[in-house]
Structure 1
């Protein structure tokens, strides 16, 4: 079982990174489609380059802060009981392992960009990012906290979205010049962030379906209401996917009108 804050915090981080990835991918493509390359992270322009690595700092420090909350605050430093890991906080330890992977992703990318000790191409960073998403996938798939009923359904959808993040990130290493792959990666990360928020509002907030309630740290629903809750979850997922796709199309049209060059227009005229 989780909490509203426990889902909203990672949801915020994934949503911020995903939206920025979509916008940056679109702008880079319409600006120069012939030299487009897949990127794991995207520099922030302006301010004399002072904010260039902002995305990496958000990933590294965001994961580190969440890691400290899970490993230090949630466990109250009671790591061991009778010589073994505290069974009451196994889910916190699992979350910490996942967050450690995303912290390492941000830290390694920063070292690659700002030092000469590690110099990695974007393809290698794609593999590291895929490893971080794989750790997240394994966490939610083999979670020590047994998710059943409506809660389990929401986490099943989350696992599927994380799997999509893995596939699109791996595809970025295999097809380093593919705009659709890079764009789909941003869409998958954005949907994951939105679904974290949807889970928080539904299971721990004001959107709990009728006939379901939070009791004894678990979601309890009447049989008919549980099926209805799952159908509502399907509609919510469809709405989020549709909303993101509409936003992507709108972003592309806006970016093309403002940043598009002659190469983009010539490609569009050939396709037409």
Structure 2
């Protein structure tokens, strides 16, 4: 992923998914805050699974970009079949995206064939594993992330950790709009920071003073002195704070705009009405099964 394109493309994907969830969660809560309930993904008027198809397509394309298209003229493996050390990062990035593909595929399967009472919890558990995998692979990255690039990735790990925590909480607190709101924002901000990293680390004209780009196993930023590196890291910290403030403000404006656009409606039924009906049907079936078993036991006792 050590290129501008390698950060910007997944960043755009995270940004779109995060914004989509943010808009839909605000809309659902605005229409009926008393019966709000979160969803793992949101349908569109044209397709119920368009969001999942988008994730499948983007993740498949990025895996091919990391391991096929981006490696034309390069060899990923040595003659003995071992992965070359300078390409370990490509496999790590591909595995991050692979989990997104796994999540989106099983989210659709569970929605179509899973039990109503358990499919939401299982889907969100897959999302937790996906974010944990992403966090661990960034934290234990094979590439040396001690310099300026490491400082950018350290901030990215903070945002991913917020996604992990809020996703875990959303399993037990499905009615909490605040948890879903923060989770959606964290996914959006992952995308923002990925895009910022791609631009700031691989665009020569915006590299900090007294720092330069050099090609080692890939292009990376180095600084002439420790003072220059410390200054570059301090600027990155200010940059993160600035982007966080800007997008928090924009998100609050979005919230206020959408609450006016979608006023509360009495008797509004959220998307999960279908699931609730199936839960009731399943409960009735279970009750009938218990009744039949009880009658059979009574018959056996009388005999």
Normalised to the residue count of structure 1, the TM-score between the two structures is 0.88
- 1:73 is aligned, of 69, 84, 88, to 69
What is the CA–CA distance in structure 2 between the aligned matches of 1:249 and 1:100, rounded to whole Å?
33
Note the C-alpha offset of 1:84. Answer: 1.8
**Alpha-carbon displacement from aligned partner over 1:110-149 (angstroms, at most 9, x marks no partner):** 2233x43786532221111111111111111111111121
Cα displacement (A) at 1:78: 4.1
Q: How many residues align?
A: 258
Indicate the larger mover: 83-92 or 183-192: 83-92
Contact 1:129 1:169 in 2 (8 A): yes
1:228-267 alignment, distance < 5 Å: 228-261=231-264
Which residue among 149, 171, 175 is the counterpart of 1:151? 149
Is this contact kept in 2: 1:111–1:118, CA < 8 A?
A: no
Could you tell me which residue of structure 2 aligns to residue 123 of structure 1? 121
Match of 2:89 in 1: 91
1:174 counterpart (158, 172, 183): 172
Q: CA offset at residue 204 of structure 1?
A: 0.6
Q: Deviations 1:216-241 (Å, cap 9, x if unpaired)?
A: 23311132222221121112111221
Residue 204 of structure 1 corresponds to 202
2:11 aligned counterpart, secondary structure: helix
Per the alignment, residue 64 of structure 1 pairs with: 60
Question: CA RMSD, aligned part only?
Answer: 1.9
The equivalent residue for 1:270 is none
Matching residue of 2:6? 6
Instruction: Give unmatched runs, 5+ long, in structure 2.
Output: 267-303
Report matched runs for 1:210-221 at 5 Å: 210-216=209-215, 217-221=219-223
User: Are the aligned partners of 2:15 and 2:189 in contact in 1 as well (CA < 8 Å)?
Assistant: yes
1:226 and 1:78 map into 2 onto residues whose CA distance is 33
- Which structure 1 residue ranges, 5 or more long, are not aligned? 264-272
1:35 aligns with 2:35: yes
Residues 8 and 118 (structure 1), Cα distance of their counterparts in 2 relative to 1, 3 Å cut: farther
Residues 262 and 83 of structure 1: is their aligned pair in 2 closer, same or farther, counting only changes over 3 Å? closer
Q: CA separation of 1:83/1:37 partners in 2, compared to 1, >3 Å: closer, same or farther?
A: same
How far residue 75 of structure 1 moved from its aligned partner, in angstroms, is 4.1
The alpha-carbon distance between structure 1 residues 166 and 229, as it changes in their structure 2 partners (threshold 3 A), is same
Q: Which whole-Å CA distance do the structure 1 matches of 2:148 and 2:123 have between them? A: 36
* Separation (CA, whole Å) in 1 of partners of 2:211 and 2:76: 34
Residue of structure 1 in register with 2:15 after alignment: 15
With over 3 angstroms needed to count, the CA separation of the structure-2 counterparts of 1:118 and 1:80, relative to structure 1, is: farther
